[in-house]
Structure 1
Amino acid sequence: MLVDPPTAQGLGLLTQLCDIRHWAWLWIVCGIVTSGSAFLRVGRDFYGFLAALVPPTVWAIAYTAAVVSGEYSRGIYVALWYLTSHVGVILWASRVPEHSVPHMPRAAREGRPG
């Protein structure tokens, strides 16, 4: 998106604020936060899921606004795609129970009888 950005058809709400290349940085920064949060302990990855939700939600809102304003009637399909395949999956993944691996007792790690 930075080097060869796609057409901004349906993203008029966003491009009124700044260029599509600037919006690409939203995806990049949120991706870095999401990736970094994957290495946190179980239960502490809230900000990663929150960061993952931001870009597709912003895009879904922009496409929905384009449909409502009459700017891009086909945007409803793109908005629904972002809401289901991105936002929906992220929300589902955030609710899946996670389990951490229990720590081994020190004696077992050192090969001593328990």
Structure 2
Amino acid sequence: FTDPEVARVGLNEKDAKAANTPFEVTTYGIDDLDRAIADSEAHGFVKVLTVPGKDKILGVTIVGTHAGDLIAEYILAMKYGIGLNKILGTIHIYPTLAEANKYAA
């Protein structure tokens, strides 16, 4: 583990370009997350690569406190074909770091 933590599943931008896989990128800055601000850990991001025009997840990179824990939701989503819209529609308790996944969705 590093400080800040870095966690990744699936493709990142470099991999997608190398494989000639089209993608869209959505990034959410953890510096805007209430729980991270309250914990004085307001740094990092959630970056999600999706199929253009769709919510299918190609890969996710999370940098920040507890990134190794936060990535689990995306691992589950990718394994079972759950898209960003389903993550967005899932209740995420306030205030928690897991809300970063919802806001990225």
TM-score bracket, shorter-length normalisation: under 0.3
Would you tell me which structure has more strand in proportion to its own residues? 2
Instruction: State the TM-score, normalized to the length of structure 1.
Output: 0.26
Would you tell me which structure has more helix in proportion to its own residues? 1
Instruction: State the TM-score, normalized to the length of structure 2.
Output: 0.28
Higher relative contact order (CA 8 A, sep 6+): 2
